Structure 1
Amino acid sequence: MPIRLKKLIGTFLLVALVIIYALVASIVAVAQLSESGPLVHFLFFLFSGLLWVLPAMGIIKWLILEPRPKG
């Protein structure tokens, strides 16, 4: 796969990940935390704010992998 195409795909994947993850985290927070206190809100958003990094790291790792030599 050409590197430029790979970077384009990776960019779209990262943007889509952030948008979808933010929407899902917000929906969960509104649906489940409406009666919770500020500490629970803080811990939820702290945890969910760091959790998106794991799939993003996978996408970035895929982006920086060198193509296998054909042989």
Structure 2
Amino acid sequence: MSIDPRHYHQPSWRKPAGMFAILGLILGWAVLVGSLSPLIGQLPMWGQVPVYIVLGLIWIWILPLRRLLAWMETGRWRQG
């Protein structure tokens, strides 16, 4: 049985490279936030929660990973 060349999809190198970049971002960010934890730990609980939300959700997931995931899928850094 032969493979029909019209339906054969060549895997992209961007997905494995992007996965390693995501792991590197998570590791680097965890080290950075962990090194800041003594400073953040001095804040009251009501002050720690917004700091960790901003550092955890917005800064690592929404800003850099949105563009990285778009690049992994399309090869362009911007969607659209």
Matched pairs, number: 65
Q: Deviations over 1:12-71 (max 9, x none)?
A: 0011111111211121232x223211111111111111120111111101111158xxxx
- What SS is found at the alignment partner of 1:52? helix
- Counterpart secondary structure, 1:25: helix
TM-score normalised according to structure 1 size: 0.75
Which of 1 and 2 has greater Rg?
Answer: 2
Provide TM-score, normalisation by structure 2. 0.68
Identical positions, percent: 15
Runs of 4+ in 1 over 6 A off after TM superposition: none
Aligned partner of 1:8 in structure 2 is 16
Point out where structure 2 has 5 or more consecutive residues left out of the alignment: 1-9
Would you tell me which structure has more helix in proportion to its own residues? Answer: 1
1 or 2 for the larger relative contact order (CA 8 Å, sep ≥6)? 1
User: Following TM superposition, by how much is the alpha carbon of 1:3 offset from its aligned partner in structure 2, in angstroms?
Assistant: 4.1
Q: Where does the alignment leave 5 or more consecutive residues of structure 1 unmatched?
A: none
